[in-house]
Amino acid sequence: MPSESILTNKHIILGVTGSIAAYKACALASQLTQHGALVDVIMTEAATRFVLPLVFQSLTGRLAYTTMWQTDTSGGLGTHIAHVGLGHGADLLLIAPITANTMARIAYGLADDLLSVTTLAANCPILVAPAMDVGMYENPTTQANIDILRARGVHFAGPGIGRMASGLEGLGRFIDSEEIVGHCRRVLGMSGPLAGRRVVITAGPTREPLDPVRYLTNYSSGKQGFAIAQAAVDAGAEVTLIAGPVSLPAPIGALRVDVTDTRSMRDAVLAHATGDAPADALIMAAAVADFRPAEMANHKIKKKREQAPAPIDLIENPDILYEVSQQAHRPTVAVGFAAESDDLIAHAQEKLARKKLNLIVANDITAGDAGFAVDTNRVVFITPKEVDELPLMSKEAVAKCIVDWVAKKLGSPQNSGR
């Protein structure tokens, strides 16, 4: 079960139109519901040919609406007129899948079924996920309708490129439901406390090559840093996620910059977080390798029979946060992590001062339920003035606490002087 997020208790209208991809909207409705969203489904008449309303009702635990003439108020609507009640109470209107036909109809303001009339009446953000054959998608008529919708502020999720039910391949494919959930978060977050702020986050380990087949690294999974990136997107920030080698998917809406070793992470951080237009905040959640082999062998290091293996000479890597602290133009807020196995508070306080941080998030890596591989973390927030021990919580909840702290520290964007 996903933990509490920006989707929790959000009222989402899910419009489903008559595409074969309507069956994928079932998984989408289920995922949004599992995230704690209240999902009211409106189906066009064509959509009911592909999926029964009962499927959506069973997945969401709420009424699925199919007709404009329905006056049932048992869905908790504020008015007995369904399209007004649905459109006014919602946080987001998501039409997924949206066909070329429904795009054309809403582009021109037609209001002849419950979904189109609700779209006209809605005063919340609108997000659409197209699904159609490549020829229909690329048709200039469809493209012109897309331009109209974009110009009016309608947000798009996809389409993707790939195989379609027709057997053809191309642009027009309905994107995966996880990605659509990511777009919902992106759109819902747009007016959040970090709207207009640029936040750079690092995550994962760095990897230092020894020879073409071996490297030195650490156990970092990247989970905490990726969760912070998602929480920052949820809060409306423009997020750059500088990721070491991990295979996690980046949050939708974040710019992902993949790096491998400490020096390439340092270069990426300096390029994205410092300089003439520094980021508003830098959150260094990466577990940076402090040392690297003095030399990388060009060939695989071979065993030498009857001889002890050659020792590996290590040299020190740059300290990225320290280098950032020495820049003339650096982020307004800098947050570091301190993973310690002893003297947690004292070591973290020393790093806070040496790297000129506003906040250091310290955790004891010897605890079984906190740290690298697990989904939970128990951290201490340390600032130059305070030490605040947080209880054991999910990495998502820790991420939200960090992002809330940063947003509070930055204040409202009007105070930034930008």
Q: What are phi and psi of 167, to 5 degrees?
A: 95, -15
| Local structure of residue 241 (DSSP, 8 states) | E
Q: Which is nearer to ligand CTP, 60 or 363 (CB)?
A: 363
What six digits make up the tokens of 339? 């993973």
Q: How far apart are CA 341 and CA 354, in angstroms?
A: 19
Quickly tell me which residue has 């305070």 as its tokens. 386
Could you confirm whether 317 is annotated as catalytic? no
Nearest-approach distance from CB 329 to ligand CTP, in angstroms: 18
Taking alpha carbons only, the member of 340, 386, 347 closest to residue 363 is: 340
Q: Which is nearer to ligand CTP, 119 or 262 (CB)?
A: 262
Quickly tell me which residue has 């998030």 as its tokens. 361
Nearest-approach distance from CB 288 to ligand CTP, in angstroms: 4
Pairing of strands 11-16, 387-389: unpaired
Cβ(242)–Cβ(257) under 8 Å?
yes
Nearest-approach distance from CB 379 to ligand CTP, in angstroms: 12
Cβ(153)–Cβ(113) under 8 Å?
no
Nearest-approach distance from CB 265 to ligand CTP, in angstroms: 8
Nearest-approach distance from CB 360 to ligand CTP, in angstroms: 7
Q: Which is nearer to ligand CTP, 92 or 348 (CB)?
A: 348
Quickly tell me which residue has 């990495």 as its tokens. 395
Give the SS3 label for residue 278.
coil
Beta-carbon contacts of 209 under 8 Å, excluding residues fewer than 6 positions away, are 215, 261, 292, 293, 296
Give the torsion through C-alpha atoms of 83, 87, 93, 95, to 10 deg: 10
Cβ(281)–Cβ(334) under 8 Å?
yes
Cβ(418)–Cβ(246) under 8 Å?
no
Give the SS3 label for residue 331.
coil
Nearest-approach distance from CB 345 to ligand CTP, in angstroms: 13
Quickly tell me which residue has 């951080």 as its tokens. 269
What value does the CA radius of gyration of the chain take, rounded to a whole number of Å?
25
Q: Which is nearer to ligand CTP, 85 or 204 (CB)?
A: 204
Catalytic residue, from 101, 123, 218, 317: name it: 218
Nearest-approach distance from CB 273 to ligand CTP, in angstroms: 11
Dihedral over Cα of 344, 346, 352, 354: its sign:
negative
Q: For residue 32, what is the enclosing H or E element?
A: helix 22-34
Cis peptide before 97 (omega within 30 of 0): yes
Q: Which is nearer to ligand CTP, 145 or 317 (CB)?
A: 317
Q: Beta-carbon neighbour count of residue 153 at 10 Å? A: 8
Under the rule (CB under 6 A), what is the footprint of ligand CTP? 262, 284, 286, 288, 290, 317, 319-321, 336-339, 351
Nearest-approach distance from CB 358 to ligand CTP, in angstroms: 12
Residues that are catalytic = 218
